[in-house]
């Protein structure tokens, strides 16, 4: 499940992930991104991940579509989680062109916000 949380920055979309992310969740995310950030405007994402499970197949496909469509708009991605595999995945995202990604632990939420707002 994906739920939006209040962003501390107009250039950042913020959300919380709990349990399993579905295709419907990602369609909501896509709609929010397209509504908040016009076609060429860069944006950041801040994701708080709690007890995440593997996304559904439909969600993985939808995520790929969103990434392809909005790739040039991505700027920073902050992932907040206690999961070590997400720390590794976030670090790997730094090898993708045009994206700065950083993992933070749950007690570093304010540090994550400071980083995305830089």
Q: What's the average model confidence in pLDDT over 106-111?
A: 97
Span 99-113, average pLDDT: 95
The confidence score (pLDDT) of residue 3 equals 96
pLDDT tens across 19-62, in order? Answer: 888 889 989 998 999 999 988 899 999 999 997 776 777 766 77
The CATH number of whichever domain residue 110 belongs to comes to 3.30.750
Domain count of the fold of the chain? 1
- Per-residue pLDDT of 93-104, as tens digits, reads 777 778 898 999
Percent of the chain with pLDDT over 90: 52
C-alpha torsion 44→4→30→111, nearest 10: 10
Alpha carbon 110 to chain centroid distance? Answer: 16
Show the domain range for 79.
2-117
DSSP code, position 80: E
Is residue 9 a contact partner of residue 117, using CB atoms and an 8 Å limit?
Answer: yes
Q: What confidence category does residue 118 fall into, taking pLDDT thresholds of 50, 70 and 90?
A: very high
- Quote the CA–CA distance of 78 and 115 in Å, as a whole number: 8
The CA-based angle 87-66-113, given to 5 degrees, is 45
Which of the four pLDDT bands, split at 50, 70 and 90, describes residue 85?
confident
Give 64-77 pLDDT, tens digit per residue: 777 767 778 889 99
Give Cα separations from 20 to 16, 29, 57, 79 (angstroms).
11, 15, 11, 16
Hunting for tokens 């499940």 — which residue is that? 1
113 — phi, psi (to 5°)? -60, -45
pTM for this prediction: 0.88
**What was the pLDDT predicted at 68?**
63
């Amino acid at each position: 499940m994906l739920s939006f949380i209040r962003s501390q920055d107009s250039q950042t979309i913020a959300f919380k992930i709990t349990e399993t992310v579905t295709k419907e969740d990602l369609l909501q995310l896509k709609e929010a991104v397209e509504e908040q950030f016009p076609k060429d405007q860069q944006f950041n994402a801040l994701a708080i991940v709690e007890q995440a499970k593997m996304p559904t197949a439909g969600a993985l496909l939808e995520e790929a579509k969103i990434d392809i469509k909005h790739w040039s708009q991505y700027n920073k991605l902050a992932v907040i989680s206690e999961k070590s595999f997400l720390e590794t995945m976030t670090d790997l995202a730094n090898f993708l062109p045009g994206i700065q990604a950083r993992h933070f632990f749950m007690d570093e939420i304010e540090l994550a916000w400071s980083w995305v707002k830089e």
